[in-house]
Structure 1
């Protein structure tokens, strides 16, 4: 009851072939392979850009404002 027999797998294979067609499955697997290759390339690009020295972070100079003169009317 817990495992599938060979007949179950054959029926599943036939249904998949009917749904996707014979030429669609290799095309789909090729697209998956291209996606994996571009993912790996993107990961290596990120690693190589982390090793390159970047320019120093820009900071904002903070100077205190002139004190406001208070004119209290007493």
Structure 2
């Protein structure tokens, strides 16, 4: 009695498609896939090792620094503190 049958899930899926439309659902899927791919790429880049970080100097906490190499998908911003 507590579990939902296949027919229940099909009705829920039909209602979701009617409310959001197929185009919006496709865009959500593309955005989610891009986010997962970006996360995986970030995890691969993060595992380079301590030898690559030996020549880098760290910025003080709360300060954003500019990088010389940027991806095409990266947006460069400047952070300022409220006074």
TM-score, length-scaled by structure 2: 0.55
Q: What's the counterpart of residue 19 of structure 1? A: 19
Number of aligned residue pairs: 57
Q: How far apart in 2 are the matches of 1:21 and 1:53?
A: 47
CA deviation profile, 1:20-54 (whole Å, cap 9, x unmatched) = 10111121111111001111111111111534250
Larger radius of gyration: 1
Higher relative contact order (CA 8 A, sep 6+): 2
Q: Which of the pair is proportionally richer in helix?
A: 1
Gaps of 5+ in 2: 58-83
List structure 1 runs of 4+ shifted beyond 3 angstroms: none
TM-score, length-scaled by structure 1: 0.61
Q: What's the counterpart of residue 7 of structure 2? A: 7
Q: What's the counterpart of residue 36 of structure 2? A: 36
